[in-house]
Amino acid sequence: MSKPKVAFYWCASCGGCEEAILDLNEGILDVVAAVDIVFWPVAIDTKYADIEAMPDGSIDVCFINGAIRMDDQEHAVKLLRRKSKAVIAFGSCAHLGGIPGLSNLTDRVATLSRAYLEVPSLDNPNGVVPQKVTEVDGGELTLPGFWNRVLRLDEVIAVDYYLPGCPPQPDTISAAVQAILTGDLPPAGTVLSPGRNMCHECSRQASKPEKLKIAEIKRIHQVLVDPDECFLAKGVVCLGLATRSGCGEKCMSANMPCRGCYGPTDGIVDQGAAFLSAFAALLGPGDRPDLGEVVASFDDIAGTVYRFSLPASLAHRGNLMKNKGEPTP
Binding residues vs ligand SF4 (CB under 6 A)? 198-199, 202, 204-205, 208, 230-232, 238, 240-241, 243, 247, 249-252, 257-262
Residue nearest to ligand SF4 as judged by C-beta position:
240
Q: Quick check: 146 and 112 in contact, CB under 8 A? A: yes
Least separation in angstroms between CB 317 and ligand SF4: 22
CA-CA distances (angstroms) from residue 28 to 35, 48, 299, 320? 11, 24, 41, 43
Question: Closest CB to ligand SF4 among 161 and 275?
Answer: 275
Least separation in angstroms between CB 14 and ligand SF4: 14
Question: Closest CB to ligand SF4 among 51 and 261?
Answer: 261
Question: Closest CB to ligand SF4 among 66 and 263?
Answer: 263
Least separation in angstroms between CB 313 and ligand SF4: 17
Could you tell me where the DSSP H helices lie in the chain? 16-22, 27-34, 48-52, 71-83, 92-96, 108-113, 170-182, 271-283, 291-296, 301-305, 314-317
3 state SS of 166: coil
d(CA 17, CA 42): 11
Least separation in angstroms between CB 4 and ligand SF4: 28
Least separation in angstroms between CB 260 and ligand SF4: 6
Question: Closest CB to ligand SF4 among 96 and 247?
Answer: 247
- Secondary structure of 67-101 as H, E, C letters: EEEEHHHHHHHHHHHHHEEEEEEECHHHHHCCHHH
Question: Closest CB to ligand SF4 among 76 and 238?
Answer: 238
Q: Quick check: 68 and 151 in contact, CB under 8 A? A: yes
